[in-house]
Amino acid sequence: MIIVLKPDCSEPQLKHILEKITEMGFRHEVSRGVKRTLVGVIGEEDRLRNAPLRAIPGVEDVMSVLKPFKLASREFQEDASVFDLGHGVSVGGGNLILIAGPCAIEGEQVLFEIGRAVKEAGANVLRGGAFKPRTSPYSYQGMGEAGLKILRTVGDELEMPVVTEVMDPRQVELVNRYTDMFQIGARNMQNFNLLSEVGQTNRPVLLKRGMSASVQDLLMSAEYILASGNKQVILCERGIRSFDNSTRNLLDLAAVPNVRGLSHLPIIVDPSHATGRPDLIPSMALASIAAGADGVHIEVHNCPEKAMSDGPQALLPDQYAELVAQMRAIADLLGKTIPAPGDAVTV
Amino acid sequence: MIIVLKPDCSEPQLKHILEKITEMGFRHEVSRGVKRTLVGVIGEEDRLRNAPLRAIPGVEDVMSVLKPFKLASREFQEDASVFDLGHGVSVGGGNLILIAGPCAIEGEQVLFEIGRAVKEAGANVLRGGAFKPRTSPYSYQGMGEAGLKILRTVGDELEMPVVTEVMDPRQVELVNRYTDMFQIGARNMQNFNLLSEVGQTNRPVLLKRGMSASVQDLLMSAEYILASGNKQVILCERGIRSFDNSTRNLLDLAAVPNVRGLSHLPIIVDPSHATGRPDLIPSMALASIAAGADGVHIEVHNCPEKAMSDGPQALLPDQYAELVAQMRAIADLLGKTIPAPGDAVTV
Amino acid sequence: MIIVLKPDCSEPQLKHILEKITEMGFRHEVSRGVKRTLVGVIGEEDRLRNAPLRAIPGVEDVMSVLKPFKLASREFQEDASVFDLGHGVSVGGGNLILIAGPCAIEGEQVLFEIGRAVKEAGANVLRGGAFKPRTSPYSYQGMGEAGLKILRTVGDELEMPVVTEVMDPRQVELVNRYTDMFQIGARNMQNFNLLSEVGQTNRPVLLKRGMSASVQDLLMSAEYILASGNKQVILCERGIRSFDNSTRNLLDLAAVPNVRGLSHLPIIVDPSHATGRPDLIPSMALASIAAGADGVHIEVHNCPEKAMSDGPQALLPDQYAELVAQMRAIADLLGKTIPAPGDAVTV
Amino acid sequence: MIIVLKPDCSEPQLKHILEKITEMGFRHEVSRGVKRTLVGVIGEEDRLRNAPLRAIPGVEDVMSVLKPFKLASREFQEDASVFDLGHGVSVGGGNLILIAGPCAIEGEQVLFEIGRAVKEAGANVLRGGAFKPRTSPYSYQGMGEAGLKILRTVGDELEMPVVTEVMDPRQVELVNRYTDMFQIGARNMQNFNLLSEVGQTNRPVLLKRGMSASVQDLLMSAEYILASGNKQVILCERGIRSFDNSTRNLLDLAAVPNVRGLSHLPIIVDPSHATGRPDLIPSMALASIAAGADGVHIEVHNCPEKAMSDGPQALLPDQYAELVAQMRAIADLLGKTIPAPGDAVTV
């Protein structure tokens, strides 16, 4: 930590600052410049970060030198993390996951049809929501456990790993019985008790970036899960809020290489929620692969005009199949692999 | 709802659109303009809003005419809501609440001293956090139930209503035993299960605006609580994210008259978290009263440099007392009342 | 400047960094911490700021200790600046300006009527646009020089100083012949050649904050004018862009005390452009005075539904008069003065 | 235009609204819903857009059905525009431009060396700034005309078209004598007089998106140039402001397919200014090509630590060459062409 003193910081104030630093158990180093005096504070970073140094009279600013995340950092682990999702599908270190499926689970028949279509197109993880975090209390809230059962059944039939959202610490045990990967939605990225709860399972967690979260905030939320004992966190960029409402959110694709520099954790992209517009999703999916993402998450529905949730942003299975072919070509170019799940489906 | 057709929407597509509308149980009204054809869709607003009209081929845009919140709206209730917080303190309809206290509850002695000071200064609600939602898993997380007990004890001694944050649906019952008002923090504004849970109590809820929440989003979260049966929601503007990091967040003071036009619910302002800077808090507190806020929430600590949390943004008791005197003068000018809690403290 | 070295910065890289620093004519001071080595670079701030230190191999980050503006800073001038606008009206140091008038100058008769009304209400500066920066090339672009002549005539008749926008360095000489104060609009806040050009006059400049400008950016643009020789800059907060489109822009009222701490220059607020909504303007005007602003800029029209520009956001003269009475009450409370322009108008 | 009436709009108010609409020369169509009455207003879009309908008493909201840009729209011109930049290089319709060079022109020798390197790497347009819009008046402001001469000389020697920024309407004639394409910087995107001035030349214009400009704002600024007579506008996405300061700006890559749907104009991407970080530029350049951009603009310097401007964000020639090879592979995959400028350089 570096303390910048106010230009009018008095000698007694400086003395008090140095005493406080010593009292807190840190070392200090004073550097007198032409216009400002600086005090370097040396000690254990976490304790430093939590010390209310800025509240001491005479202090103008406190600048941090280190990043606040540790277990999530590249410095902690040099090599890219690779996680196994089951059915032969892994993510990270050159393995891409293509997650696809409807926004909400609506029934076994429709999920099976969509699932079979996306698997044939090349998807390797099936998604579907049983608990839906909706802005309005009057919107469809999901099928709950019945939906989870359907998801599990369809995933097993298709031999695909499945992912579904968990919204509440009280649901973690239940959801854990049915899913291969938890999804934490953007609105819950800083629901710290939920993070701790999934952090106590040994199930991979797909952590979506909050709409007002910086890349560092995202990594700090990952840190909560890691610090609770679960090392399997996959990050997901899905757009942040901006002033331009021509897209639902603003996809921050630079977060992909940005995270890759800072962390060993895989990061995928969700162009469906980021843009909310089927005409933009394919371009953004291709761009995601080119940018080095470890996967892409896309909503697909076989009849968007009948979907219970987010129909207008779903791709049709044919559009998805065409897109996967293009993504595969770019992945090949970059030497990436898209694992095929299970055996061929014989239905 | 108004559907705007694509310029190249074919007659069969239009026919399909009208059939779908009829099938969903709505009426339609076609209006052919020079460059665009519009279809008015008439029916129950909630069902309309959830229908995936935009997913139907030939549709360019869907424009909503009505606001999505109902119970929170001025149209639902013309008169300003007034809620009783206990100890003679109410909020809304000309009654202002001045909430003050430390960020975190650190012990009975320090809370009592701060509480007595802010009460003498004119505050009428005591705050203090027992469960702290911290960005880092390595930061101080609060005293938990022990803190709640201290808060209750000190509130009773000082005859002041108390408010404290609840972060987890599993804590609602516990916190409900100790507090006079729940606080839902900014990071949990869209933790819908938590909203539903406090919505099932009959305790007032202070709902803070999320960092990426629009005013409408805030009212929709209030709607969750109202729709669950609890009518006592107090909104709190506390700053949203912006590109200018010279303040912690960007205080959106226009939200105060904006909400007042849209809703009957009281709205207060938290300049402490909005700015994060003691040098800006007093001006923003005065501006809040002048803007018509129903109260102000300010963090006060008697020794900021020793605070367990957010010390650098706390006002000293003397600074707070001076500020309350100025706020009172503006409140008087506007014909507002600041209820005094309980009897005089005899300690 | 403080250079933070990469964790893997080699000794030869450090040697090269120190040589470069010496070569640039600066001194250096190395501080080896547990996890990072820092290099303090000491020398003239402006030269330091422009040196591409971050481009040197081995450098992770460069942190600046000082603010980049000088002439605009409180450190350069302790006392608040006060500027004379003519007709007995001055701004700063406790003197408030109430600027009012139509968005665009539309004719002498209408401007005179509006001007007389706002003067009677208590305004002390008359505004009106002759050159209008419109987002669309198909919108009304203003009367040009004919409008300037009308503004001058009406200002003289009413004995009020006048302000009007200048958009182009080529117009500065022309506008200078007619106005008492230049206005630089938000879209031109970083039109540096225009800033330099008005900086070469000795006419006060009302500099509006750009929609994506930080407070520091605003002060840097003021610095351009000051560095060109013109010391009379009045800043204007008028809202920045945000994700919530329920108001036109997001009024950043904390910018008022923020600027006051950083700079000796006066700062006023424009709630008309910030909110774009007549129902929010009065509250935000009162809040501005309470926050310590040196004035308020409000659009007034006697027939908004016939206005050539921005009619929907104009207040009616009666609404304005009522608002001024309230602003005056708060100003009195804070010990501020609203100078009355010229003599009484005898028309 | 659709007018939404207030719920309490009286019949006399409605009558007045309809009279005003007729008076303005428009037709109207009233539609009475359950909760709101709507009035469709039919007439010439531009005139409608400028009419202050929202200022009429009883009006709650006014919703626009059409986009405000015309000449820039896909509806105006179905086919993608293709522009010739000279030396055999064209942009649009499958032809990509790779613009590269230093931020500022610093001298003939250094520009020639960088230019030769980027041409050999595969760049087909040379860039360099002679007039630099700098946030600080104390930063390097560029070589002016001397720089333009150098740029012209080096472009001719290397047989590459050149692009350079113009900041001031008074410079347009001068810059026009030396450059093959004007650049309008982000800070001048809404300098409407400058747009009109370059709109009166017949030289291609590279129009960069402002930091707070929506995609629609960008197209409206293009419309200014088109409406002035110059049909050759190339748009450039270069990042907008966001709350996450880990990158300089936030690259909005979805703007590429977004613009492509709305307009026939080419759009390129500038990852250098968008991210400000050499470690992120290559990924974002590849993503841009994959997203369908018509080119990429990248700053390259052979000695970033000596650059006069923006050294820390420049790629080295070798890094650029490696990147071009990868961009070319993706371009090939998508069936795009990167025109080679002039003949082989024989130096």
Q: Helix, strand, or coil here: B315?
A: strand
CB of D68 less than 8 A from some CB of C: yes
pLDDT 10s digits, B249-294? 999 999 999 999 999 999 999 999 999 999 999 999 999 999 999 9
- According to the model, what pLDDT value does residue D33 have? 78
* Residue A199 is assigned to a structural domain of this protein: yes
- Residue A40: beta bridge partners? A2, A29
CB of A283 less than 8 A from some CB of D: yes
CATH of the domain at B229: 3.20.20.70
C-alpha distances out from residue B346 to A129, B149, B159, B340, Å: 57, 21, 11, 15
Tell me how many domains chain B contains.
2
| Among A residues 229-268, those touching chain C with beta carbons less than 8 Å apart | 241-243, 245
- According to the model, what pLDDT value does residue C344 have? 44
Same domain for B168 and B284?
yes
Same domain for A147 and A43?
no
Does the distance separating the beta carbons of B284 and C254 come in below 8 Å?
yes
> Are D32 and D5 within 8 A, CB to CB?
no
Place of tokens 């006023």: C268
> What ranges make up the beta strands (E) of chain B?
2-5, 27-32, 37-42, 59-63, 83-86, 89-91, 97-101, 125-127, 162-165, 181-184, 205-208, 233-237, 267-269, 295-299
Query: Which residues of chain D are under the pLDDT cut of 70?
Result: 343-347
* Residue B70 is assigned to a structural domain of this protein: no
CB of A22 less than 8 A from some CB of D: no
Q: Helix, strand, or coil here: B224?
A: helix
Q: Which of A38-42, B43-47, C101-105, D322-326 has the lowest mean pLDDT?
A: B43-47
CB of B93 less than 8 A from some CB of D: no
CB-based contacts of D175, cutoff 8 Å, min separation 6: D130, D131, D148, D164, D166, D182
pLDDT 10s digits, A1-24? 899 999 889 999 999 999 999 998
- According to the model, what pLDDT value does residue D322 have? 98
CATH of the domain at C37: 3.30.70.1140
Would the ipTM clear 0.85, i.e. be above it? Answer: yes
Domain extent for C38: 2-63
* Residue C59 is assigned to a structural domain of this protein: yes
CB of A58 less than 8 A from some CB of B: no
DSSP B263: B
**Chain A nearest CA to B134, separation (Å):** 8
The Cα–Cα gap between A296 and A284 comes to 10
The Cα–Cα gap between C10 and C14 comes to 6
Q: What number is the average pLDDT over the span A297-310? A: 92
Question: Over 90: is that where the pLDDT of C44 sits?
Answer: no
Does the distance separating the beta carbons of D33 and B40 come in below 8 Å?
yes
- What token pair was written down for C224? 């351009």
Same domain for C166 and C284?
yes
- Residue B181: beta bridge partners? B163
- According to the model, what pLDDT value does residue C343 have? 54
Average pLDDT along chain B: 94
**Cross-chain CB nearest to C66 (options A2, A36, A242):** A36
The chains in contact with chain A, meaning 3 or more Cβ pairs closer than 8 Å, are: B, C, D
> Are C248 and C218 within 8 A, CB to CB?
no
Q: Which residues of C fall within a CB distance of 8 Å from A34?
A: 42
How many C-beta atoms surround the C-beta of residue C107 within 10 A? 13
- According to the model, what pLDDT value does residue A345 have? 41
* Residue D324 is assigned to a structural domain of this protein: yes
> Are C275 and C296 within 8 A, CB to CB?
no
> Are D205 and D233 within 8 A, CB to CB?
yes
**Cross-chain CB nearest to B250 (options C212, C252, C329):** C252
CB of C283 less than 8 A from some CB of B: yes
Amino acid at A238: R
- Residue B184: beta bridge partners? B207
* Residue A347 is assigned to a structural domain of this protein: no
The Cα–Cα gap between D107 and B188 comes to 56
Same domain for C246 and C104?
yes
Residue A148: which of A130, A162, A121 has the closest Cα? A130
Chain C residue with the nearest C-alpha to that of D306? C52
Does the distance separating the beta carbons of B254 and C252 come in below 8 Å?
no
Q: Write down the H helix ranges in chain D.
A: 11-23, 45-50, 108-121, 145-158, 172-176, 192-199, 215-227, 255-262, 271-275, 281-291, 317-333
Chain C residue with the nearest C-alpha to that of D301? C55
Q: Which residues of D fall within a CB distance of 8 Å from C307?
A: 52, 55
The Cα–Cα gap between A77 and A91 comes to 17
The Cα–Cα gap between D285 and D294 comes to 11
C-alpha distances out from residue A247 to D72, D112, D214, D263, D264, Å: 20, 42, 10, 16, 19
Same domain for B169 and B29?
no
pLDDT 10s digits, C87-135? 999 999 999 999 999 999 999 999 999 999 999 999 999 999 999 999 8
**Cross-chain CB nearest to B333 (options C215, C256, C329):** C329
Does the distance separating the beta carbons of D2 and B38 come in below 8 Å?
yes
- According to the model, what pLDDT value does residue D344 have? 43
Same domain for D249 and D217?
yes
Q: Helix, strand, or coil here: B292?
A: coil
Q: At what angle do helices D215-227 and D192-199 cross, to 10 degrees?
A: 40
Interface test with B, best of A46, A53, A54 (most B CBs within 10 A): A54
Task: Determine phi and psi for B269, rounding to 5 degrees.
Answer: -130, 140
- According to the model, what pLDDT value does residue D343 have? 54
- What token pair was written down for C127? 């505004």
Does the distance separating the beta carbons of B284 and C286 come in below 8 Å?
no
Q: Which residues of A fall within a CB distance of 8 Å from D276?
A: none
* Residue D36 is assigned to a structural domain of this protein: yes
Question: Over 90: is that where the pLDDT of A80 sits?
Answer: yes
Mean pLDDT: which of A50-54, A342-346, B340-344, D222-226 is highest? D222-226
Chain B residue with the nearest C-alpha to that of A224? B137
Position A217 confidence tier, pLDDT thresholds 50, 70, 90: very high
DSSP B168: S
Does the distance separating the beta carbons of D40 and B31 come in below 8 Å?
yes
- According to the model, what pLDDT value does residue A343 have? 54
**Cross-chain CB nearest to C55 (options D193, D211, D311):** D311
> Is the overall model pTM greater than 0.90, yes or no?
yes
Q: Which of A111-120, B229-238, C33-42, D210-219 has the lowest mean pLDDT?
A: C33-42
DSSP A300: B
| Among D residues 154-173, those touching chain C with beta carbons less than 8 Å apart | 167-170
Residue A205: which of A223, C91, A217 has the closest Cα? A223
Same domain for B140 and B241?
yes
> Are B28 and B2 within 8 A, CB to CB?
no
Same domain for C52 and C186?
no
- According to the model, what pLDDT value does residue B343 have? 53
* Residue A70 is assigned to a structural domain of this protein: no
CB of D319 less than 8 A from some CB of C: no
Amino acid at C20: K
Q: Helix, strand, or coil here: D93?
A: coil
Chain B residue with the nearest C-alpha to that of C291? B283
pLDDT 10s digits, D317-334? 999 999 999 999 999 999
**Cross-chain CB nearest to C50 (options D52, D53, D140):** D140
- According to the model, what pLDDT value does residue D125 have? 98
**Cross-chain CB nearest to C253 (options B214, B245, B253):** B253
Q: What number is the average pLDDT over the span C35-44? A: 86
The Cα–Cα gap between C209 and C202 comes to 21
- Residue A89: beta bridge partners? A86
- According to the model, what pLDDT value does residue C42 have? 86
The chains in contact with chain C, meaning 3 or more Cβ pairs closer than 8 Å, are: A, B, D
Question: Over 60: is that where the pLDDT of B345 sits?
Answer: no
Place of tokens 């206990």: B86
The Cα–Cα gap between C71 and C43 comes to 19
* Residue B118 is assigned to a structural domain of this protein: yes
Same domain for D135 and D188?
yes
- According to the model, what pLDDT value does residue C97 have? 98
CB of B3 less than 8 A from some CB of C: no
The chains in contact with chain D, meaning 3 or more Cβ pairs closer than 8 Å, are: A, B, C
**Chain C nearest CA to B258, separation (Å):** 7
Position A153 confidence tier, pLDDT thresholds 50, 70, 90: very high
> Are C166 and C175 within 8 A, CB to CB?
yes
Chain A residue with the nearest C-alpha to that of B212? A212
pLDDT 10s digits, B21-35? 999 889 998 888 778
- According to the model, what pLDDT value does residue D151 have? 98
Residue C160: which of C297, C347, C342 has the closest Cα? C342
C-alpha distances out from residue B31 to B23, B58, D29, D34, Å: 20, 15, 9, 18
**Chain B nearest CA to D258, separation (Å):** 14
pLDDT 10s digits, C241-250? 999 999 999 9
pLDDT above 70 as % of chain C: 99
Same domain for B104 and B242?
yes
Same domain for C171 and C237?
yes
> Are B283 and B259 within 8 A, CB to CB?
no
- According to the model, what pLDDT value does residue A276 have? 95
Does the distance separating the beta carbons of B193 and A168 come in below 8 Å?
yes
Q: Which residues of B fall within a CB distance of 8 Å from C253?
A: 251, 253, 284, 287
Q: Which residues of A fall within a CB distance of 8 Å from C7?
A: 75
The Cα–Cα gap between D25 and D47 comes to 9
Does the distance separating the beta carbons of A34 and C42 come in below 8 Å?
yes
Place of tokens 């978290």: B273
Q: Which of A124-128, A321-325, B59-63, D87-91 has the lowest mean pLDDT?
A: B59-63
CB of A41 less than 8 A from some CB of B: no
Same domain for B46 and B179?
no
